[in-house]
Amino acid sequence: MCLAIPARIVELEQDVAIVDAMGNRYKAKTTLLPEAKLGDLVLVHAGFAISLVDEEEARKTWQLIAEINEFQETDNKVSG
Amino acid sequence: MLDRINKAQHEINAACETLGRQINIMEVCGTHTVSIFRNGIRSILPRNLKLLSGPGCPVCVTDQGYIDVVLQLADRDDCLIATYGDMIRVPGKEGSLETKQANANIKIVLSSEDALQLAKDNPGKTVVFVAVGFETTAPATAVVVKEAAAGAVDNFCILSGHKLVVPAMRALLSEKNHNINAFLCPGHVSAIIGYGAFAEIVEGFDRPCVVAGFEPVQIIEGLSEICRQLSAGKAELKSMYAAVVTEKGNIAAQKIVDECFGPVDGYWRGLGKIPESTLKLKNKYNQFDAFERFGIIEEPSEELRGCRCGEVLCGLIEPPECGLFGRDCSPQEPVGPCMVSSEGACSAWFKYGREK
Amino acid sequence: MTQTKKATKHNRILLAHGGGGQLMDDLIRNHILPGLKNDALDELGDSAKLELASGSLCFTTDSYVVKPLFFNGGDIGKLAVCGTVNDLAVAGAKPVALALSLIIEDGFEIELLDKILRSIGRTARQVGVDIVTGDTKTVEAGAADRIFINTAGIGIRHPDIGMGFEKIAVGDKIIINGTIGDHGMTVISQRREIQFQSQLKSDCACLAGIICDLLENTSGIKFMRDPTRGGLAATLNEIARSTALSIKIRENDIPVRPAVQAAADMLGFDVLSIANEGKFVAVVSPESADDCLKICKKHPLGKESKIIGEVIESRDVPLVEIETRIGGKRIVQMPYGRELPRIC
């Protein structure tokens, strides 16, 4: 279906989470990932977290994007 | 990152030169199809390495009969159809959900939870969730079936079109296409079922199976690993997507699916009937099974005339070899699902590629 | 002539507000006029009389049906002014006057209408263009998805500026004044159907100023267009189609905010096909490219300007080709089907 990208759990109540991906926040359920905790990096697909994402491995992927794209803005504040 | 890509490219070139003959690697994931095209990966591969697009697009492999059932239900005043976006344009015998959408009883959802909520918000109608997708998406459906059962949401049901990847790979190799040398395996399906699920393909058919993610570097490194194996005469199981995939997969998700579904024989476009390849709701969840509720039996349909989606899905031909490609069949006026679905091979070729 | 401002008794639009009678008069005098104040409009004539300096005129119109009405970075009102002003600006015209048509549903909150009107007035003043004539209609609930707006605009072309497809030649460079995909992804992310909360912001802005800077300080600008619905992909394909030349762009040089890329990835969109409302594409002669870039970067709306590619010979058919981040090649097709429902 859609490409899923890693997102960090920034809020979690029972199995309802708010996740953050590059500054975009959206709702996701952790029903399929009962071991997920606040602060975890997860892969979200069709509104559900389906896998924990290994930070070390993920950093390699994200860093790759950062290296290639000289247009990185690490600051999440959107300019006016 | 470019270093890694250059290195992998070198390795692929070296291996393919050693091998000398044509190498066919099949990817069985629609998201891989799209990523390969979007990043222009084919254009940096050696001439004798062919990337085949396989039956990895859930919408594409959904049989015509299933689509006609959905269209039938969409005609009913007492039904609301909840579907993922891609299904909207797939043509059945008489139009598509898009052409029916004027009836306003068709809602696009991004999550199975949205479909369940639709049922809760519309107690006077029966909501039918068009549950299409592979093992990545089936757990999400299972969760809401359980929630519906627990909350007695009686006006909710699903039309299960969930399919399983490994039986399809098995069927492909046994009957349809003996020219597949190796598989690039789907990353997100593997997150659920575990990369160990592909062991039977490696052992039973002696083909390398490598699980890769969707970033271009991950795909190219996956291809490099496959080429390395082939040139060494090996066939091994390997995952290059350690960030997300484990050998056993997501056990909780597998459990929920097992609780609700059982595999039955199913019809796949292009591959025909594949044993134990489609998920059907177990008896205890009968009331949420739209097939049971409406007394429908899915009949496989005839292919639309001239449409060669089936052969495309088996990797037997490339989209431009279909007589309808780019002429009678285009994203604007698609004949078959491979052109409609954003992950379909024909759509990807059309959008990103060019016939040589 | 002074008007005493009557307190509006109604807080929602009624069908009668479009009826040409007392209620409509109230609406115009107490809500529409105050925000858009100018001499031509105050006359409330059936048509505006304009005294224009001689020159060739540009004339354009656009309708705005965006959903949601208010989004991070703008609203339907701001969009209605910017969109039409930008169509004039990329044609090389200085915007002079706008017409404004409102189609409003029965039941629409007047407070929201006021907000939209204030936004229209503010945006128009910032650009220095007047709304000189208008129309208001009301329709039954459900017939206009709350409010539809149409604007038409007149501008006077800068003298000595000759832009057009026929001017474009092999070797010309392609410049964009900043990041792509911001507007479309912002609007999608704020629609209620999607449970998305995000930091994205529409780039909705009037480009008359930055384009004027360019046109007055360089020659060598061959063609301009604003890549709205259909995005950069549509605009570049239109150029290729109309010139029978091909275009090559480099993914590495196309500015995209990470949040926009992430949002697009999440939903399966290609940022190249996503609408922009504060961007223009300029095709410029190779000798003037560096100057053009410098001028753009000096302006607040062009700080992230980039040369993204060039015009090349066509092989057999005119194509838009992109060199991907990993050095691969692929085609950028004209976007098909419905990408984004109602984003401008």
Residue A78 is assigned to a structural domain of this protein:
no
Residues in chain B with CB shorter than 8 Å from the CB of C326 are 2, 5, 39-41, 44, 216-217, 220
For C194, the closest of B40, B89, B110 (CB atoms) is B110
pLDDT tens for each residue of A20-69: 887 788 889 999 999 999 999 999 888 899 999 988 888 776 554 444 33
Residue A18 is assigned to a structural domain of this protein:
yes
First and final C-alpha spacing in chain C: 38
Domain that residue A23 falls in: 6-68
Residue A15 is assigned to a structural domain of this protein:
yes
Cβ pairs bridging A and B (under 8 Å): 93
Q: How far apart are CA B296 and CA B286, in angstroms?
A: 13
In A, residues 21-50, which contact C (CB 8 Å cutoff)?
21-27, 47
pLDDT tens for each residue of C51-89: 777 778 999 999 998 888 999 999 999 999 999 999 999
Query: For position A67, what pLDDT does the model report?
Result: 45
For C171, phi and psi rounded to 5 degrees?
100, -20
Residues in chain A with CB shorter than 8 Å from the CB of B143 are 29, 31-32, 48
Q: Is residue B355's pLDDT more than 50?
A: no
The CATH number of the domain holding residue A15 is 2.30.30.140
Delimit the CATH 3.90.650.10 region(s) of chain C. 165-331
Whether B354 sits inside 8 A of C319 (CB atoms) is yes
**Positive or negative torsion for Cα C42, C45, C48, C51:** negative
Q: Is residue C125's pLDDT more than 90?
A: yes
Query: A17 at the B interface (CB within 8 A)?
Result: no
Mean pLDDT of C291-312: 97
Query: B104 at the C interface (CB within 8 A)?
Result: no
Residue A23 is assigned to a structural domain of this protein:
yes
* Among B280-294, C88-102, C189-203, C209-223, the least confident range: C189-203
Mean pLDDT of C172-176: 98
Residue of A31, A33, A41, A54 to mutate, interface with B, max B Cβ within 10 Å: A31
Residue of B352, B355, B356 to mutate, interface with C, max C Cβ within 10 Å: B352
What's the CATH code, domain B2-57+173-236?
3.40.50.11750
Residue A54 is assigned to a structural domain of this protein:
yes
Q: How many CB atoms lie within 10 A of CB C53?
A: 7
Q: Say what angle helices B251-260 and B138-150 make with each other, to 10 degrees.
A: 60
Q: Which amino acid is at C334?
A: M
- Looking at CATH, the fold of the domain delimited by C165-331 is given as Phosphoribosyl-aminoimidazole Synthetase; Chain A, domain 2 (3.90.650)
Query: C169 at the A interface (CB within 8 A)?
Result: no
Query: For position B248, what pLDDT does the model report?
Result: 97
Q: How far apart are CA C228 and CA C276, in angstroms?
A: 5
Residues in chain A with CB shorter than 8 Å from the CB of C257 are 71, 73, 78
Nearest to C11 by CA among C113, C147, C138, C102: C113
- Here the tokens at position C292 are 């053009």
Q: Is residue C171's pLDDT more than 70?
A: yes
CA distance B2 to chain C (A): 7
CB-based burial, C148-178: b 16+ in 10 Å, e otherwise = bbbbbbbbbbbeeeebeeeebeeebbbbbbb
- Sheet of B182-185: strand order equals B49-53, B23-27, B182-185, B209-211, B237-239
Q: How far apart are CA C120 and CA C151, in angstroms?
A: 11
| All structural domains of chain B with their residue ranges | 2-57+173-236
Query: A18 at the C interface (CB within 8 A)?
Result: yes
CB-based burial, C201-221: b 16+ in 10 Å, e otherwise = bbbbbbbbbbbebbbeebebb
Q: From 3.40.309.10, 1.20.120.350, 3.30.1330.10, 3.30.70.1890, which CATH number describes the C15-157 domain?
A: 3.30.1330.10
Residue of A3, A8, A19, A24 to mutate, interface with C, max C Cβ within 10 Å: A24
Residues in chain C with CB shorter than 8 Å from the CB of A78 are 72, 199-201, 257, 259
Q: How far apart are CA C36 and CA B327, in angstroms?
A: 52
Query: For position A80, what pLDDT does the model report?
Result: 29
For C181, phi and psi rounded to 5 degrees?
90, -5
How many distinct structural domains can be found in chain A?
A: 1
**Positive or negative torsion for Cα B327, B332, B333, B334:** positive
Task: Kindly list the partner chains of chain A, i.e. chains with 3 or more CB atom pairs below 8 Å.
Answer: B, C
Nearest to C134 by CA among C2, C7, C29: C29
Q: Which amino acid is at B148?
A: A
Contact (CB, 8 A) for C147 and C117? no
- Here the tokens at position B206 are 């002696």
Whether C267 sits inside 8 A of A27 (CB atoms) is no
Residue A29 is assigned to a structural domain of this protein:
yes
Residues in chain C with CB shorter than 8 Å from the CB of B352 are 330-333
Q: How many CB atoms lie within 10 A of CB B29?
A: 30
Cβ contacts of A75 within 8 Å, gap of 6 or more: none
What is the reported pTM? 0.85
Please report which confidence band the pLDDT of residue B236 belongs to, taking 50, 70 and 90 as the band edges: very high
